[in-house]
Structure 1
Amino acid sequence: MRRNGRALLFAGLFYAPLVSADWQVNLIEGATEISRSVYNLHMVIFYICVAIAVIVFGVMFWSIFWHRKSRGAKAAHFHESTWVEIAWTIVPVIILVSMAVPASTTLIQMYDKNSAELDIQITGYQWKWRYQYLNQDIDFFSSLSTPPEQISNEQIKGENYLLEVDKPLVIPAGKKIRFLLTSNDVIHSWWVPALAVKKDAIPGFVNESWTRVDQPGIYRGQCAELCGRDHGFMPIVVEVKSPEDYQMWVAEQASLKVVEQQSAQKEWSQAELMIRGEAVYKASCAACHQLEGQGIPGVFPALVGSPLMSGDSAEHIDAVLHGRSGTAMQAFAEQLNTVDLAAVITYERSAWGNQGGAVTVQQIAELLKE
């Protein structure tokens, strides 16, 4: 029995580093100069606090042990000691100054948003992010791309479960990027630990932050504000590309915009709209109305058998385009393109036994012009 105990202890000691690798409790150094400065500042403050704790508790326990009553020790009586007064004033001042100097230096760096080479407006929505590249014709929404089947435990969870998106934020390496953050509905918080960026997105306000990443790579984060029922399904992915690859990406976005405009002129069949609409529905609607359109009683209405799905398409279209005031139903006119709007409305009206029929891309396009 004793031998088994020693074997278990040895195994525990051997595997402890492997286990702790997945149990990260400290800050990470990150991928930017600012994130490394924040990490170094954190460690300096931490070691100062450890040193204070060791000295204070060391003196306290030493006094308790060596000057206990059982040894016949008697407490000294003194007060108004000038040297004690000087010591407990000067020592804390020195400690505070040793903390304040590096902290102030780091804070000044963090709030220096001047000389940015690219400005990006980030807008929080329930539950996705909108990225608008100012002075560039790039504007898109970034939504969770983890399959609903993984969330409902019907499939094995992927490596980046709940931390993957359909369209990441793309920025160039080695460039200073300024972020302008706001919100369309409730308070969100844009947080990417590796970049040491965590800023609230507040309706009616614009907050600023910035980053400069030297090495290309993919960095993941999350909304750090409890923003609603699906708060945990609002990830952030930042893809840093080399300057050359970034310019290729910008050119690709321009090409995609042309393709999107051309697709809006195409005659789409109902079958084609249904296939595309199912994908759009899973990405933008299933979080509230559920995969099979059953909704959540008392929270989100069911689409299966809903009079809205079988009635006049104009009312259904208006609800999707402009949302419903006083409810969680968002306006999707800005979030989805013309084809995706027609596709998802057609899918909702024709799936799960609904008999509402299709709407056309041209029909949506005409309404968007009004």
Structure 2
Amino acid sequence: MHLQAKRLSKLALSPVLMLLSMLGTAAWAEEAQRWQTNLTPGVTELGAKIYDLHMTVFWICVWIGVVVFGLMFYSILTHRKSLGAKPADFHESTSVEIAWTVVPFIILIVIAFPATKTLLEVYDTDDADLDVMITGYQWKWKYEYIDPNGDNVSFFSNLRTGKTEIYNEDAKGQHYLLEVDEPMVLPVNKKVRFLVTANDVIHAWWVPALAVKRDAIPGFINETWTKATQTGIYRGQCAELCGKDHGYMPIVVNVVEEAEYKNWLNEKKSQAAEIKALMSKNFSLDEQMAAGKEVYDKSCAACHGANGEGGVGKAIAKSPIATGALATHLDVGVNGVPGTAMQAFGGQINDVEMAAVITYQRNAFGNNMGDVVQPIDVYNFKQGK
């Protein structure tokens, strides 16, 4: 009986767990309390509708449970053997069979109407005011704001929580593992369409307060949307087990007034213009070493070690790649190494940063090759020149 009860409890919980997974509007919404068990409406009209649908279905299920278990316990108590009850001798009842077929059918129809209406809204990405391409990488997100005139803005969003917090050397901050160096910025009261894909493995972009959860699959583009009605900072995470550092892939969305959003976007466009201007500049070895160290510490040290000693990845110090032909080194940095943990960074950092970090790797950690790689060298390599 105990084993059977556990099985029944799991069966009863499975539809609820499936609904939670599909709707994805609980957990770390900014206004949610830690360990709360119910969903939250979030800060979108769609999120409120999903929440209302959830509560409607929940109370229907509660009343079904009350009626079914009430009849069951009534039958057990009033027709038990100790009261002298005799078992009835019959095989079937056409009326009962019709009833337990028709009543659930009617209940499902009643649930289907609001559920279908809400699902149609979930997948209605038409008439968006803004398009943002979201690409999942191990273990970061790339955001590209698509401009109809081709003046796109793109950047990567990385975990900002320090290693000292992760390894318990320092106290954990308020938003431990839920803070990034570059948050996504969206205007309030604007419909934003997300085009979600991935560069390497399957990820999932999930922000509960915005009522958004969509799989990021390499080679496919999935669409979803949101329209936040309140300004604020809303946090989420990758909701797909994407590798050993899956828990280090947070999402932060800053919803601001339209004027502030336009100022932010113009600043990003100015930064892109500055990087474009740097493409034609020749940097000294000292300049490239200083800039390269920043890029290395941010993008390379986690795998190759703070001092180039290696770890998850191979050592940079005295490496045959870092001390070999420059073309081979550029190929590894730009295109990665298929079948290994070495990712292709050609699309993750710009040509200015790539030139700096290659220069740094070839001259740091005792390598001392004397090479000074310029941004135009990286550009020409990518073009096959």
User: TM-score, normalised to structure 1's length?
Assistant: 0.86
Aligned pair partner of 1:195 in 195, 198, 210: 210
Are 2:252 and 1:237 aligned? yes
Range 42-51 or range 136-145, more displaced: 136-145
Counterpart mapping for 1:159-174 below 5 A: 159-174=174-189
Unaligned runs of 5+ in 1: 1-19
Q: Tell me the amino acid that sits aligned with residue 60 of structure 2.
A: I
Are 2:160 and 1:145 aligned? yes
Q: Tell me the amino acid that sits aligned with residue 62 of structure 1.
A: Y
**CA distance in 1: counterparts of 2:62 and 2:365, whole angstroms:** 62
Is the Cα contact below 8 Å between 2:318 and 2:367 reproduced in 1?
A: yes
User: Residues 8-48 of structure 1: CA distance to partner in whole angstroms, max 9, x if unpaired?
Assistant: xxxxxxxxxxxx94312222211111111111111111111
Q: Tell me the amino acid that sits aligned with residue 322 of structure 1.
A: N
Superposition deviation, residue 245 in structure 1: 1.0
Superposition deviation, residue 352 in structure 1: 4.2
Tell me which residue corresponds to 2:110. Answer: 98
Are 2:38 and 1:23 aligned? no
Counterpart mapping for 1:14-163 below 5 A: 21-135=33-147, 136-163=151-178
Tell me which residue corresponds to 1:344. Answer: 357
Aligned pair partner of 1:181 in 196, 200, 223: 196
> In the superposition, relative to structure 1, how do residues 259 and 192 fare at CA in structure 2: closer, same or farther (>3 Å)?
same
**CA distance in 2: counterparts of 1:356 and 1:24, whole angstroms:** 57
Aligned pair partner of 2:233 in 218, 223, 239: 218
Q: Tell me the amino acid that sits aligned with residue 276 of structure 1.
A: A
**CA distance in 2: counterparts of 1:124 and 1:359, whole angstroms:** 32
Superposition deviation, residue 211 in structure 1: 0.9
Range 20-29 or range 89-98, more displaced: 20-29
Range 299-308 or range 252-261, more displaced: 299-308
Counterpart mapping for 1:165-314 below 5 A: 165-296=180-311, 300-314=313-327
Superposition deviation, residue 176 in structure 1: 0.9
Is the Cα contact below 8 Å between 1:320 and 1:333 reproduced in 2?
A: yes
Q: Aligned-residue CA RMSD in angstroms?
A: 2.3
Size of the aligned set, in residue pairs, is 349
Q: Tell me the amino acid that sits aligned with residue 71 of structure 1.
A: L
**CA distance in 1: counterparts of 2:305 and 2:235, whole angstroms:** 26
User: TM-score, normalised to structure 2's length?
Assistant: 0.83
**CA distance in 2: counterparts of 1:219 and 1:251, whole angstroms:** 22
Unaligned runs of 5+ in 2: 1-31
Q: Tell me the amino acid that sits aligned with residue 177 of structure 1.
A: V
User: Residues 45-92 of structure 1: CA distance to partner in whole angstroms, max 9, x if unpaired?
Assistant: 111111111221222222222322122111223344343233212321
User: Residues 247-288 of structure 1: CA distance to partner in whole angstroms, max 9, x if unpaired?
Assistant: 111211121122223444555444443443333223322333
Query: SS of the residue aligned with 1:348?
Result: helix
> In the superposition, relative to structure 1, how do residues 153 and 273 fare at CA in structure 2: closer, same or farther (>3 Å)?
farther
**CA distance in 2: counterparts of 1:84 and 1:161, whole angstroms:** 56
**CA distance in 1: counterparts of 2:295 and 2:174, whole angstroms:** 23
Superposition deviation, residue 318 in structure 1: 2.1
**CA distance in 2: counterparts of 1:306 and 1:153, whole angstroms:** 32
**CA distance in 1: counterparts of 2:314 and 2:92, whole angstroms:** 73
Q: Tell me the amino acid that sits aligned with residue 347 of structure 2.
A: E
**CA distance in 2: counterparts of 1:193 and 1:307, whole angstroms:** 46
**CA distance in 2: counterparts of 1:194 and 1:58, whole angstroms:** 38
Q: Tell me the amino acid that sits aligned with residue 107 of structure 1.
A: L
**CA distance in 2: counterparts of 1:154 and 1:314, whole angstroms:** 40
Superposition deviation, residue 292 in structure 1: 4.1
Aligned pair partner of 2:330 in 301, 317, 323: 317
**CA distance in 2: counterparts of 1:245 and 1:207, whole angstroms:** 29
Range 69-78 or range 79-88, more displaced: 79-88
Tell me which residue corresponds to 2:372. Answer: 359
Is the Cα contact below 8 Å between 1:30 and 1:196 reproduced in 2?
A: yes
Superposition deviation, residue 300 in structure 1: 2.6
User: Residues 222-247 of structure 1: CA distance to partner in whole angstroms, max 9, x if unpaired?
Assistant: 11111222222221111112111111
> In the superposition, relative to structure 1, how do residues 151 and 98 fare at CA in structure 2: closer, same or farther (>3 Å)?
same
Is the Cα contact below 8 Å between 1:313 and 1:359 reproduced in 2?
A: no
Superposition deviation, residue 107 in structure 1: 0.4
Query: SS of the residue aligned with 1:340?
Result: helix
**CA distance in 2: counterparts of 1:261 and 1:105, whole angstroms:** 47
Query: SS of the residue aligned with 2:266?
Result: helix
Query: SS of the residue aligned with 2:322?
Result: helix
